[in-house]
Amino acid sequence: MSHCDEIFENLAQRCFGGTHRSPWGRVKAGLRWLSYDALYDEKVLEECLQKVFGLTRRLFDHINDRVSGTRIAVSAMMDRHTPSIITNYNGCDKGQRKDYTLIRPKNIEDELFIWEAGRATSAAPV
């Protein structure tokens, strides 16, 4: 668990820490927010996620050294009004689920890469 904590701390510091401390950093962040509706540079976040999860691992990829693969669920917004969950496992019966959309492509080639799923959670409208 401490390894996960360390990775998270490094990821958070690189992506979100220190960029708005200087006056110029604050001006750039304000301009980015006005122009793109975002406070942070998405390219840095994408690079961090790709480094941690790799470029080619998909949500349903199997890891041979595990009895059961890691379960991944990422909350995201498809638009300003539709909460969604991107998972690599089957959720509850659709009849029971009314407050969010479960995103699961039918074709495995259309499956998101893990880094893309992580990126989607930070792309919710402000």
pLDDT of 21-32, one tens digit each? 677 777 776 776
Question: Could you tell me if residue 26 is inside a domain?
Answer: yes
What's the pLDDT at 55? 93
Backbone conformation region of residue 37, classed left if phi is above 0, alpha if psi is from -120 to 50, else beta: left
Count of C-beta atoms within a 10 Å radius of residue 58 = 18
Has residue 53 got a pLDDT over 70?
A: yes
Its pTM stands at 0.60
Has residue 66 got a pLDDT over 60?
A: no
Domain total of the chain: 2
What's the pLDDT at 76? 78
- How many angstroms separate the CA atoms of 84 and 54, rounded? 24
Question: Could you tell me if residue 9 is inside a domain?
Answer: yes
Q: Which domain holds residue 83?
A: 55-126
Residue 31 and residue 74 in one domain: no
Has residue 111 got a pLDDT over 80?
A: yes
Q: What is the distance of C-alpha 76 from the center of its chain?
A: 8
Residue 76 and residue 19 in one domain: no
Averaged pLDDT, 90-112: 72
| CA distances from residue 18 to 73, 79, 102 in whole angstroms, order as listed | 29, 29, 35
Residue 93 and residue 67 in one domain: yes
54 vs 101, higher pLDDT: 54
Question: Could you tell me if residue 45 is inside a domain?
Answer: no
Residue 59 and residue 116 in one domain: yes
What's the pLDDT at 96? 61
- How many angstroms separate the CA atoms of 78 and 85, rounded? 9
Has residue 82 got a pLDDT over 50?
A: yes
